[in-house]
């Protein structure tokens, strides 16, 4: 093999499609950019990867899992409401009318997927948000998302 690597066929680990991969000795195979149907949440330390129609894309083009998409929309609403001077009610209304209904549907679909998968299914890791793991656990219970369990919480995650 050359330093540039050898082209071969393989499966994309995210979407499962057969794609061209680059193999280099002593390194994991590289999947060059392709028309991947899957996206990974861009929220720091979140490893959720789902198909595009299950994820939330912000107007700026950033992709988030449903929980983090909802968190970002709410953060935008708060910033618009608390801004210096008068709140930007036009922008607030646009978020409420255009973005939130789709995000809520995706959060609900993610919950339903979790219920269908059963309690024993592995769920994607979702790190604690800025409010701490207790609030995250309360708001994501049954949603398919979970925070990293704390030692005293280990029994909670086995049910």
| pLDDT higher than 60, residue 149 | no
| pLDDT higher than 60, residue 105 | yes
Which pLDDT does position 8 carry in this prediction?
Answer: 87
Which pLDDT does position 118 carry in this prediction?
Answer: 66
Which pLDDT does position 73 carry in this prediction?
Answer: 95
- Can you point out the beta strands (E) in 63-152? 63-64
Distance CA 74, CA 79 (A): 9
pLDDT band at 74 (very low <50, low <70, confident <90, very high): very high
Read off the pLDDT of each residue in 94-107 and give the average, rounded to a whole number: 94
87 in Cβ contact with 108 (< 8 Å): no
Distance CA 62, CA 40 (A): 10
- Can you point out the beta strands (E) in the chain? 6-11, 18-23, 38-40, 49-51, 56-57, 63-64
pLDDT in tens, 3-45: 577 888 888 888 888 888 888 888 888 888 888 888 999 999 9
Read off the pLDDT of each residue in 119-127 and give the average, rounded to a whole number: 46
Strands 56-57 and 38-40: unpaired
């Amino acid at each position: 093999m050359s330093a540039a690597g050898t082209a071969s066929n393989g499966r994309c680990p995210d979407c499962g499609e057969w794609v061209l991969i680059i193999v280099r000795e002593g390194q994991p195979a590289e999947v060059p950019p392709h028309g991947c149907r899957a996206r990974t949440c861009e929220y720091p330390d979140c490893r959720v990867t789902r198909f595009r129609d299950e994820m939330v894309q912000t107007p700026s083009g950033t992709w988030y899992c449903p929980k983090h998409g909802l968190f970002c929309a709410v953060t935008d609403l708060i910033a618009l409401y608390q801004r210096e001077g008068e709140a930007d009610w036009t922008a607030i209304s646009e978020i409420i009318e255009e973005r939130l209904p789709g995000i809520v549907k995706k959060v609900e679909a993610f919950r339903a997927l979790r219920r269908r998968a059963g309690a024993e299914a592995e769920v994607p890791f979702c790190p604690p948000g800025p409010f701490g793991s207790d609030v995250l656990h309360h708001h994501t219970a049954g949603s398919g998302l979970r925070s990293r369990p704390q030692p005293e919480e280990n029994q909670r995650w086995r049910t």
